[in-house]
Amino acid sequence: MGEAKNTHDVCHKPLKSCWIPQALILPIKDNGKTPILISFLNQKTIDTIEADGFVAEIIRTNRKKTVSIKVAEGKVSVVAPKTFPAKEISALVAKKQRWIKQKLAIQNNVLKVQPKQFIAGESFSYLGNNYRLKIESGPYPDLKFQQEQFIATVRNISANNAPAIKQMLIKWYQQQAETILRERTKSYSEVIGVTPSKITIKLFKVRWGSCSIRREIQYNWKIIMAPKHIIDYLVVHELCHIQHHNHSPLFWKTVAKYHPEYKECKVWLKNNASLLEI
């Protein structure tokens, strides 16, 4: 049985899998039937209510059984039966405002991330901080990180240098990832008392790291864009899998011992994966 590879995601699907449900469905009367999400096709009139820090759109429908609150693309909408009093909608929205605000915060974070253009003045994340890109002309293409900025050297400054700069940046990130992840793994493996047989830094599509039953650890180099405590969480997470090849309570207890704020890191990774894209 030892041949099966034990791989696991620290973060599965960065943008789509959200730990908070996409829509809240609130039954008005509990008549034993499962509440259903009301279709927008039945909408009649549209109104809005102002809540603490956001505006919710009220969509009236002919359906009678449920009120649903939806947060999509940074907008809040409440679908309610025609006869349901506005006062009660306000009360429901107020009651659920914590959930709504969490959803809004996550969506705004995702929405504000624009695809990178690799132009002068644009910011790039490294160890959780943003640094600006400066573009200079010179005889040899190169990328340096100097005095808190990325400096890309290109031959022809007026040409489209985006693809070349992107490649140079990726190469630079990968080099940093090699150094930092190996160093952090060495430090933590001494503390935890485990020894990985192999460390590989590569590109994963939907995960941050993995640890096989043969103690081979793999990391996604993109983690190097995240803050240091998040990188440490990933390292501790994978190293603890050498002792526990699962996500059992005992595994998490071990993670907590070496990285007490692991829960916040887990949530951070789920919510901020879009910041670690290039």
Residues in contact with Zn ion by the rule CB under 5 A: 8
- Closer residue to Zn ion in complex, CB, 197/248: 248
CB of 239 to Zn ion, least distance (A): 11
Q: Which residue is nearest to Zn ion (CB)?
A: 8
- Closer residue to Zn ion in complex, CB, 143/242: 242
- Closer residue to Zn ion in complex, CB, 169/265: 265
In degrees and rounded to multiples of 5, residue 218 shows phi and psi of -125, 140
CB of 247 to Zn ion, least distance (A): 6
Alpha carbon of 178 to those of 115, 148, 209, 256: distances in Å?
25, 20, 14, 25
CB of 21 to Zn ion, least distance (A): 23
- Cβ neighbourhood burial of 210 (10 Å; 0-12, 13-18, 19+): buried
* Number of H-type helices and E-type strands within the chain: 6, 12
- Closer residue to Zn ion in complex, CB, 172/208: 208
CB of 266 to Zn ion, least distance (A): 10
d(Cα 177, Cα 33) in Å, to the nearest integer? 53
- Sequence-ordered strand ranges (E) for 30-88: 46-51, 54-61, 66-72, 75-81
E strand or H helix at 249: helix 249-258
- Closer residue to Zn ion in complex, CB, 8/215: 8
Q: Do the beta carbons of residue 182 and residue 199 sit within 8 Å?
A: yes
CB of 270 to Zn ion, least distance (A): 14
Q: Do the beta carbons of residue 56 and residue 45 sit within 8 Å?
A: no
246: its two tokens: 């699962």
Looking only at the bridges linking them, the beta strands covering 54-61 and 75-81 are parallel
Q: Do the beta carbons of residue 241 and residue 48 sit within 8 Å?
A: no
CB of 273 to Zn ion, least distance (A): 16
- Closer residue to Zn ion in complex, CB, 8/116: 8
